[in-house]
Structure 1
Amino acid sequence: MSKYDIIVLGSGPGGYVTAIRASQLGFKTAVVEKESLGGICLNWGCIPTKALLKSAQVFDYLKHAEDYGLTVKDADKDFNAVVNRSRGVADGMSKGVQFLMKKNKIDVISGFGKVKVGKKVEVTDDKGDKTDYSADHIIIATGARARELPSLPIDGKKVIEYRKAMSLEKQPKKMIIVGSGAIGVEFGHFYNAMGTEVTIVEYLPHLVPVEDEDVSKQFERSFKKAGIKVMTNSEVLSVDTSGKGVKATVKTKKGEQVLEADILLSAVGIKTNIESIGLEDLGITVDRDRIIVNDFYQTNIPGYYAIGDVTPGPALAHVASAEGITCVEKIAGMDVEPIDYGNIPGCTYSTPEIASVGMTEKAAREKGYELKVGKFPFSASGKAKAAGTPDGFVKVIFDAKYGEWLGCHMIGAGVTDMIAEAVLGRKLETTGHEVLKAIHPHPTMSEAVMEAVADAYDEVIHL
């Protein structure tokens, strides 16, 4: 039986990053993966969706070339070529992870991993053969999959989840999307940009409901302007797939109505991949579908750890990576501080993009803070106007008493690349005046951060 210092179950952005850091720290390391290196994020999530969205952006530019003084005749898309490009990007990234495994001398064990008593992992390969491996430390990073609601049974043909949505053989003429989190709205934007008639159904009062209310309202306006039908305060009661397409019965404030489409995409959250991996046999504590861990990702059973989507933290790729690094550095005896989950950035890559960190204005007021709130619209940004992307704004929230940067919320072109300034500023405990006095380059979209802070302190110049 092969013996390792660390075995990681799963090779997503949590698992493979964890394995690399473990190897860097001198641990003999192995990764168990039942499908493709890179996991869902790299193969079916973060990366290939961004490739689809880039194609949508280029196509949108072509359709609106006249706005930039250009003439483009007969611009059209090849849906299958767009999908194939996305798959090619994902395949290339997966090969990159293979290279990193070899470079860092990490053994890749193909098959389905199951944790066992005695710090062992049983791996079942594609032929059904089982092999046991042992390690001093076993880290579970098996991720999650699309959640399935009883009212929305996924058949993979007419009612689909995100994996199928990015690899359809034929572009649908009409699509219903249930759920308006990042997955729902990113696909909503992509298919709308490609020419599909899209309807988004959201149970809560606003699209992207975890965001600041001002952002949600702006986002809804932008989606409606783009021709997407938005139905909030609405619930899909049932679906009928017996006919040619799909019929969804939707409960709204005005009563029930039936929506018809070729495809319904269920984007109602995730379900962790913790079934049949041995947790019950070991007695590892699970609560509400998540493995319970301490600040350094140890489970209640010594020698067994869990990171990423299977734990109670935010189900985000960058969080999984950070958790894995923290976990193995603690195992190595390093002086490690716990992750600050109040300073995790969230990004949505639709058009417009959304990026946020920290508290919303509502949450900050509910906690009793006296606030200074500033907002700067991109319609007043020279760079945004020149780029033809004036929609959106930057909103900042500060504690009036001590100047603490409580939250930052952005919506507009390229904001997912801008939010790191707020994350770093908050990490370094910067104040509003320090941000204001940090000179930002002109003309850039990033100036809007400085201008929003200036607005909060009644020093704004360009409004």
Structure 2
Amino acid sequence: MAQETFDLLVIGGGPGGYVAAIRAAQLGMKTALVEKAQLGGICLNWGCIPTKALLRSADVLRLVRNAAQFGVQAAAPQADLAAMVARSRAVAVQLNKGVAHLMKKNGVKVFTGHARLQGAGAVSVSGADGVSPALRAKHIVLATGARARQLPQLPSDGQSVWTYREALTPPALPKRLLIVGAGAIGIEFASFYRTLGAEVTVVEMAGRILPVEDEEVSAQVAASLQREGIAIHTGMAVAQAQRGKNGWEVTLQAQDAAKARLQLQADVVLVAAGIVGNVEDLGLEKTRVQVEKTHIVTDAQCRTAEPGVYAIGDVAGPPWLAHKASHEGVMCVEHIAGLAPHALDPRRVPACTYSHPQVASVGLTEAQARAAGHKVKVGKFPFGANGKAIAMGATAGFAKVVFDAGSGELLGAHMVGEEVTEMIQGFAIAQTLETTEADLMATIIPHPTMSESMHEAVLAAYGRALHI
């Protein structure tokens, strides 16, 4: 079979891989991409995008239920789960087609199949038709992503034990849903299914939900979810699980062994207990690529220990976020092209949780900043004191900022409330530009906007808040 040669070959067509391919093409490289499933990867097809479509449906349902407080009389709304899922899938399909168009527009040749490294820049691709194109490339970027971690007590069966994938296309609304894991994925689905009427219980091994977020943010979200009727058990792990006639019977064991075990029942269990990297069957054994805890080891320029082989995105380790993968894709390719881009600083990767209420953050938490030896100034401003939030009926939550007391460096920003995921980019830009508290104070924020709370939080850190 004839061999095709490229300047750069990307394995994996998710938000890291396809963006890397586009940037390489822009820089004049002859580029190919291999994807064994769907362009756009898990994020576009089974993750970020379709979950946001479902959560938007829940937002609309919640808003109509509360229409009377805005002076609008509406009949009692009914949730049409099948229609919500259909819309979510349609959104994913639309964007999948968009990625295919971008590949064609930028001259990226796409191969469908499973890629394996064959050593010295060689890659084989096996597809459903059995054809195995022989490819070569001077540079190979691994962007194979990750998958949901399985629990031995609760192996996914697609029916009564779900991963995020099954949770996106439920055949019916479960009456009792147990969610194992209270990170972003678990909390988003808890919010969605509770809004639709399911009895939802969340279990988390850590001492609080959203354990990577600021403690005050975690506490605020937990209180909000509990007011909505979601049961939360933190510091607990699944000790036993047995499928019975009346659903799953799950035994929880507290991290403190002295505490009593807890028995729960559920019709469906959603496992959202982390991810593992897709490193199997890639031919890595033919290379010097190193793998630790299911993730490929890389340096600051995304290089592996094998010359000419790079890794980006979820397969290369945390933070496991689509925008981090895309940023790494651009950075990696620009490094290959000799443009000397800045290395990614994981402390400046914003994170968002699209629950109700939403959560958004960037940088260090207050506890992390203190643990790192910083003397800090902390400012906090409640949305309940913000005019736009009051007008919108969205007064729950706050904006919080953490500064280095000596230099005025913005170490971190943390928000919980309505649409804060659209606001965090302001603080992310501020960190990138290395602005100080003086720069942020001097910035004129439009009125009335919820983003005024961001400005007020900065002022509050220095005892200058105007509206509290």
Which TM-score bucket, shorter chain as reference?
A: over 0.9
User: In structure 2, what is the Cα distance between the partners aligned to 1:172 and 1:452?
Assistant: 41
Match of 1:137 in 2: 139
2:35 maps to a residue whose letter is E
User: In structure 2, what is the Cα distance between the partners aligned to 1:273 and 1:414?
Assistant: 33
1:138 maps to a residue whose letter is I
Asked if 1:218 corresponds to 2:223, the answer is: no
Tell me which moved more, 41-50 or 421-430. Answer: 421-430
Match of 1:453 in 2: 458
User: In structure 1, what is the Cα distance between the partners aligned to 2:435 and 2:118?
Assistant: 47
Match of 1:321 in 2: 326
Contact 1:116–1:281 (Cα < 8 Å) also in 2: yes
Structure 2: stretches of 5+ with no match in the other structure: none
User: In structure 2, what is the Cα distance between the partners aligned to 1:425 and 1:239?
Assistant: 47
Q: Which one of the candidate residues 31, 41, 44 is aligned to 1:42?
A: 44
Aligned pairs (5 A) from 1:43-442:
43-252=45-254, 254-442=259-447
Q: Number of aligned residue pairs: give it.
A: 463
2:285 maps to a residue whose letter is E
Deviation (angstroms), 1:250 = 1.3
Deviation (angstroms), 1:121 = 1.1
Deviation (angstroms), 1:257 = 2.2
Contact 1:141–1:310 (Cα < 8 Å) also in 2: yes
Match of 1:24 in 2: 26
Deviation (angstroms), 1:83 = 0.5
User: In structure 1, what is the Cα distance between the partners aligned to 2:299 and 2:261?
Assistant: 46
Deviation (angstroms), 1:353 = 0.6
User: In structure 2, what is the Cα distance between the partners aligned to 1:296 and 1:284?
Assistant: 15
Contact 1:451–1:461 (Cα < 8 Å) also in 2: yes
SS in 2 for 1:421: helix
User: In structure 2, what is the Cα distance between the partners aligned to 1:365 and 1:301?
Assistant: 38
Contact 1:158–1:241 (Cα < 8 Å) also in 2: no
User: In structure 1, what is the Cα distance between the partners aligned to 2:179 and 2:466?
Assistant: 42
Deviation (angstroms), 1:229 = 0.8
Deviation (angstroms), 1:74 = 3.0
Tell me which moved more, 86-95 or 142-151. Answer: 142-151
User: In structure 1, what is the Cα distance between the partners aligned to 2:345 and 2:112?
Assistant: 34
Deviation (angstroms), 1:131 = 2.5
Tell me which moved more, 69-78 or 126-135. Answer: 126-135
1:297-317 deviation digits (Å, cap 9, x = unpaired): 111111111111111331110
User: In structure 2, what is the Cα distance between the partners aligned to 1:337 and 1:257?
Assistant: 49
Q: CA RMSD in A?
A: 1.1
> Runs of at least 4 residues of structure 1 off by over 3 A?
none
1:334 maps to a residue whose letter is L
SS in 2 for 1:76: coil
| TM-score of the pair, normalised by structure 2 | 0.97
Contact 2:276–2:295 (Cα < 8 Å) also in 1: no
Contact 2:360–2:421 (Cα < 8 Å) also in 1: yes
User: In structure 1, what is the Cα distance between the partners aligned to 2:342 and 2:380?
Assistant: 33
User: In structure 2, what is the Cα distance between the partners aligned to 1:248 and 1:360?
Assistant: 34
Tell me which moved more, 104-113 or 125-134. Answer: 125-134
1:144 maps to a residue whose letter is A
Contact 2:65–2:76 (Cα < 8 Å) also in 1: no
SS in 2 for 1:401: coil
Tell me which moved more, 392-401 or 130-139. Answer: 130-139
User: In structure 2, what is the Cα distance between the partners aligned to 1:230 and 1:22?
Assistant: 46
Match of 1:14 in 2: 16
Deviation (angstroms), 1:242 = 3.9
Tell me which moved more, 12-21 or 258-267. Answer: 258-267
User: In structure 2, what is the Cα distance between the partners aligned to 1:421 and 1:92?
Assistant: 29
Structure 1: stretches of 5+ with no match in the other structure: none
Contact 2:277–2:294 (Cα < 8 Å) also in 1: yes
SS in 2 for 1:155: coil
Deviation (angstroms), 1:244 = 4.2
Deviation (angstroms), 1:127 = 2.8
Tell me which moved more, 242-251 or 17-26. Answer: 242-251
User: In structure 2, what is the Cα distance between the partners aligned to 1:377 and 1:164?
Assistant: 37
Deviation (angstroms), 1:400 = 1.0
User: In structure 2, what is the Cα distance between the partners aligned to 1:98 and 1:90?
Assistant: 13
User: In structure 2, what is the Cα distance between the partners aligned to 1:432 and 1:387?
Assistant: 29
Deviation (angstroms), 1:128 = 3.1
1:89 maps to a residue whose letter is V
Contact 1:354–1:415 (Cα < 8 Å) also in 2: yes
1:59 maps to a residue whose letter is L
1:61 maps to a residue whose letter is L
| TM-score of the pair, normalised by structure 1 | 0.98
